[in-house]
């Protein structure tokens, strides 16, 4: 199973942007300058097999596992040779931005979803051509490829967030059916504390890096949005945003979630029963099982995020892109097409445990017969990501800081939303 650390880096998308990277996005060459010097965008994928040499970058364990998958592509296209370079997540963002400046990029690459806006703005990405069928992807995942209404690449694999819970302790608390709405989740958290002996009913992140990923689903479910007018203006202080923040804060004010829990011990707290619910992604199934062993496995339950106006969760993962100045773009797009195939995506799941972005791949028995994974598939039908804007990482950092003030210091939801909006407006979208 892929480690939680690797996954967090993936969905956060390299939140720690270096000064060099900021200089590139803030005062480096614009997309217009890049477009003037870059080759023309690909409009269609040619008929026939892929040929020539293809260079590919991929991060973390995906970079280590991808050569096993590209062997099948080479067998189907005997005239092509794919060279995959694995890159550590910590070094990836700088490596990409440096290569964009030097115009020394590979033909194709795995790219974190939150980097799409920045790289498209720098003029580095080739728009998705005709011949790449995107109709079968989960809608929220497909949206992560779009910048300013143009799609760049395809979703490669996905993840979303569910509520994890201890089935045995839920039974002890008198909860026989997982809740489906906000009131039900609150009642379940209370019952876990009062009847099942938990210290806290649910583990929610009280601010800190990436906490926006847990907060925004509640805001989205209340009808909030992050931007408007084609992602030119932030809308982070609306009544709907405040409603999501108020609900989130209530778990802390009612002592159903704690600000005093040691970090990075979610699995141990879950296994011990100290905190028998949390919100996270599919990698935590294996992570919890590793800590709790065979005894805990039958007691791991998951359910979709509860509904307010909607029951929306966060969608993360990684996209696969082709670079505009690549030397072998046609064959690169043929590789992307291969990676988008449902069978290929099912094969990739068996190699990596990465969940497919293509809906039909979920019919494969390796996923469909799993007791938990199909629930993630259902949640992916209603899941969103932040807009692909250049400065999202900076906005996310500001968002996380205000959530921490709200959870730990009691800052009001109205003041929290106002502060997030002010900081975001000051940072700007970068467009």
Give the three-state DSSP class for 86.
strand
Mean pLDDT computed over 244-248: 98
Residues in contact with 397: Cβ distance below 8 Å, sequence separation at least 6, in sequence order: 15, 209
| Rounded percentage of the chain residues whose pLDDT exceeds 70 | 91
pLDDT for position 25: 31
Which residue would you say has higher pLDDT here, 425 or 36? 425
pLDDT at 13 over 90: no
Closest CA to 331 of 28, 112, 134, 129: 129
Which residue would you say has higher pLDDT here, 55 or 2? 55
Q: Are residues 279 and 167 in the same domain?
A: yes
Q: Look at the block and give the residue holding tokens 């020394």.
A: 104
Question: How far is C-alpha 394 from the chain's CA centre?
Answer: 16
Task: Give residue 160's pLDDT band: very low, low, confident or very high (50, 70, 90).
Answer: very high
Q: Are residues 331 and 240 in the same domain?
A: no
State the Cα–Cα distance between residues 84 and 5, nearest whole angstrom. Answer: 22
pLDDT for position 18: 33
Domain finish residue from 384, 399, 416: 384
pLDDT for position 256: 98
Mean pLDDT computed over 163-181: 98
pLDDT at 254 over 70: yes
Q: Are 423 and 212 in contact (CB under 8 A)?
A: no
Average pLDDT, the chain: 90
pLDDT tens per residue across span 65-95: 999 999 999 999 999 999 999 999 999 999 9
DSSP state letter for 336: H
DSSP state letter for 151: E
State the Cα–Cα distance between residues 313 and 382, nearest whole angstrom. Answer: 7
Angle between helix axes 89-102 and 19-27 (nearest 10 degrees) is: 40
State the Cα–Cα distance between residues 413 and 224, nearest whole angstrom. Answer: 14
pLDDT at 39 over 70: no
Q: Are residues 337 and 298 in the same domain?
A: no
Mean pLDDT computed over 179-204: 98
| Rounded alpha-carbon distances, angstroms, from residue 46 to 50, 152, 218, 331, 334 | 9, 18, 44, 9, 9
pLDDT at 10 over 70: no
Q: Are residues 169 and 141 in the same domain?
A: no
Q: Are residues 261 and 405 in the same domain?
A: yes
pLDDT at 35 over 50: no
pLDDT tens per residue across span 105-145: 999 999 999 899 999 999 999 999 988 989 999 999 999 99
Q: Are residues 87 and 212 in the same domain?
A: no
State the Cα–Cα distance between residues 271 and 168, nearest whole angstrom. Answer: 11
β-strand 313-322 against 383-384: which pairing, if any? parallel
The pair of three-digit structure tokens given for residue 394, joined into one six-digit string = 């900076």
Closest CA to 106 of 48, 43, 34, 53: 53
Q: Are residues 331 and 268 in the same domain?
A: no
Cα dihedral: 167, 172, 176, 177 (round 10): -50
pLDDT for position 339: 96
Q: Are residues 14 and 55 in the same domain?
A: yes
Q: Are residues 16 and 37 in the same domain?
A: yes
pLDDT for position 41: 77
Q: Are residues 259 and 186 in the same domain?
A: yes
The pair of three-digit structure tokens given for residue 255, joined into one six-digit string = 């002592």
Which residue would you say has higher pLDDT here, 338 or 148? 338
Closest CA to 361 of 158, 186, 222, 200: 158
Q: Are residues 360 and 341 in the same domain?
A: yes
Q: Which residues pair with 228 in a beta bridge?
A: 233
Range of the domain at 281: 162-314+389-427
pLDDT tens per residue across span 301-321: 999 999 999 999 999 999 999
pLDDT for position 4: 36
Q: Are residues 232 and 357 in the same domain?
A: no
State the Cα–Cα distance between residues 14 and 22, nearest whole angstrom. Answer: 12
Strand (E) positions, 167-291?
227-228, 233-234, 277-280
Tell me how many domains the chain contains: 2
State the Cα–Cα distance between residues 279 and 266, nearest whole angstrom. Answer: 10
Give the CATH number, domain containing residue 418.
3.40.190.10
Phi then psi dihedrals of residue 389, to 5 deg: -110, 155
Cα dihedral: 38, 39, 40, 44 (round 10): -130
Residues in contact with 340: Cβ distance below 8 Å, sequence separation at least 6, in sequence order: 132, 133, 134, 137, 154, 320, 357, 358
């Amino acid at each position: 199973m892929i480690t939680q650390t690797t996954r967090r880096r993936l969905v956060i998308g390299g939140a720690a942007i270096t000064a060099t990277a900021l200089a590139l996005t803030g005062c480096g060459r614009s997309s217009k300058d890049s477009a003037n010097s870059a080759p023309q965008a690909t409009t269609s994928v040619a008929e026939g097999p892929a040929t020539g040499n293809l260079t590919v970058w991929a991060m973390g364990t995906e970079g280590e596992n991808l050569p096993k998958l590209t062997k099948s592509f080479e067998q189907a296209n005997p005239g092509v040779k794919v060279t995959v370079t694995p890159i550590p997540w910590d070094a990836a963002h700088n490596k990409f931005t440096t290569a964009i400046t030097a115009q020394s990029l590979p033909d194709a690459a795995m790219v974190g979803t939150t980097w799409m806006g920045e790289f498209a703005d720098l003029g580095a990405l080739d728009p998705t051509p005709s011949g790449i069928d995107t109709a079968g992807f989960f809608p929220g995942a497909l949206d992560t490829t779009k910048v300013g209404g143009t799609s760049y690449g395809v979703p490669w694999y996905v993840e979303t967030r569910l509520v994890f819970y201890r089935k045995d302790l839920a039974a002890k608390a008198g909860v026989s059916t997982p809740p489906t709405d906000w009131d039900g989740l609150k009642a379940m958290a209370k019952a876990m504390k009062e009847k099942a002996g938990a210290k806290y009913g649910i583990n929610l992140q009280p601010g800190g890096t990436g906490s926006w990923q847990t907060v925004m689903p509640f805001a989205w479910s209340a009808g909030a949005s992050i931007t408007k007018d084609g992602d030119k203006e932030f809308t982070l202080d609306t009544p709907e945003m405040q409603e999501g923040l108020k609900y989130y804060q209530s778990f802390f004010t009612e002592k159903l979630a704690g600000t005093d829990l040691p970090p990075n011990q979610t699995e141990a707290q879950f296994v011990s029963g100290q905190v028998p619910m949390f919100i996270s992604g599919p990698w935590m199934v294996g992570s919890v099982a590793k800590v709790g062993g065979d005894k805990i496995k039958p007691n791991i339950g998951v359910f979709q995020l509860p509904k307010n106006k909607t029951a929306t969760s966060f969608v993360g993962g990684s996209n696969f892109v082709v670079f505009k100045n690549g030397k072998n773009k046609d064959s690169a797009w043929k590789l992307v097409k291969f990676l988008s195939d449902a069978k290929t995506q099912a094969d990739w799941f068996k190699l990596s445990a990465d969940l497919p972005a293509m809906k039909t791949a979920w019919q494969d028995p390796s996923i469909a017969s799993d007791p938990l994974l199909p629930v993630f598939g259902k949640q992916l039908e209603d899941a969103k990501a932040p807009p692909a804007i250049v400065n999202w990482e900076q906005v996310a950092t500001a968002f996380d800081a205000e959530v921490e003030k709200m959870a730990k210091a009691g800052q009001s939801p109205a003041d929290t939303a106002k502060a997030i909006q002010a900081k975001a407006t000051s940072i700007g979208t970068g467009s």
